[in-house]
């Protein structure tokens, strides 16, 4: 049994960031209150930004991230997927991608050859603003990432980190996929052909991205800090003022 589950059995309340994460354990599920993830001010500011307008002939802004260190799979899959798109779509793409330093040269070479409008960096300090300006996010599905996508309300293609014992990222992505706010693709199925097909479909039907944005927002929580404080007070028997 994982250490956190041992501890969970001893507490009287459990606060979770995402709904449904302990549904498979009835003994723990009864203790759960979903409060959300307390958001930093930059995310709260980004959440106030409406989904950017999108039409079938305008720019398609795609953000590709892979956690704090980047994800090599994104460098392996996204550039060849872009290469497989119809050439008419290349001029519409405005691509921002987190790329590890050791992958930078090969990724940049593909985008330069295709004349893609691409900004590449190992780290973006203004990620909340970039999330808010994007029409589509391609990412891993850590709990914080999923919570931020829901709070801001941005459509996503989520590729859970494989190999985890409890498949937490797979479950995280499922929270958004269940409400049609994201497309969850297992890494084994995350191929250049599959990704190119999904991007092409979104580009041809921009209304779907708008609908996914609204759907993602339905599970976002902007008042998580207040909810968590209320739960702590309740457990401690403190009367809220």
Q: Note the pLDDT of residue 125.
A: 93
Per-residue pLDDT of the chain (241 residues; tens, 9 = 90+): 344 556 667 888 998 887 777 777 887 888 898 898 899 999 999 999 999 999 888 999 999 998 766 689 999 999 999 999 999 999 999 999 999 999 999 999 999 999 999 999 999 999 999 999 999 999 999 989 999 999 999 999 999 999 877 788 999 999 999 999 999 999 999 999 999 999 999 999 999 999 999 999 999 988 888 989 999 998 888 765 5
Tell me if residue 84 falls in helix, strand or coil. helix
By the 8 A CB rule, do 60 and 203 touch? yes
User: Within a 13 Å sphere around the CA of 40, how many CA atoms are in the beta-carbon half?
Assistant: 8
Tens-digit pLDDT profile for residues 177-191? 999 999 999 999 999
Structure confidence at residue 3 (pLDDT): 45
DSSP helix, strand, coil percent of the chain (3-state; round to 5):
50, 15, 40
- Are 143 and 18 in contact by the 8 Å Cβ rule? The answer is yes
Cβ–Cβ < 8 Å for 111, 79:
yes
């Amino acid at each position: 049994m994982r250490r956190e589950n041992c501890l969970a059995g001893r507490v009287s309340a459990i606060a979770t960031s995402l709904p449904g994460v302990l549904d498979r354990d009835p003994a723990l599920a009864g203790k759960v209150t979903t409060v959300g993830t307390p958001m930093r001010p930059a995310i709260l500011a980004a959440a106030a930004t409406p989904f950017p307008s999108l039409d079938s002939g305008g720019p398609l802004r795609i953000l590709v991230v892979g956690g704090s260190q980047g994800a090599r799979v994104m460098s392996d899959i996204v550039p060849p997927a872009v290469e497989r798109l119809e050439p008419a779509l290349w001029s519409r793409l405005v691509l921002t991608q987190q790329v590890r330093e050791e992958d930078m040269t090969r990724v940049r070479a593909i985008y330069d050859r295709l004349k893609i409008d691409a900004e590449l960096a190992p780290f973006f300090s203004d990620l909340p603003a970039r999330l808010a300006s994007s029409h589509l996010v391609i990412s891993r599905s850590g709990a914080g990432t999923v919570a931020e996508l829901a709070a801001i309300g941005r459509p996503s293609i989520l590729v859970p980190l494989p190999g985890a014992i409890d498949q937490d990222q797979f479950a995280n992505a499922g929270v958004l996929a269940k409400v049609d706010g994201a497309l969850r693709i297992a890494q084994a199925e995350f191929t250049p052909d599959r990704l190119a097909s999904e991007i092409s479909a979104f580009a041809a039907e921009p209304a779907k991205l708008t609908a996914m944005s609204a759907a993602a927002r339905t599970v976002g929580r902007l008042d998580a800090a207040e909810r968590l404080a209320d739960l702590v007070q309740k457990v401690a028997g403190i009367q809220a003022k």
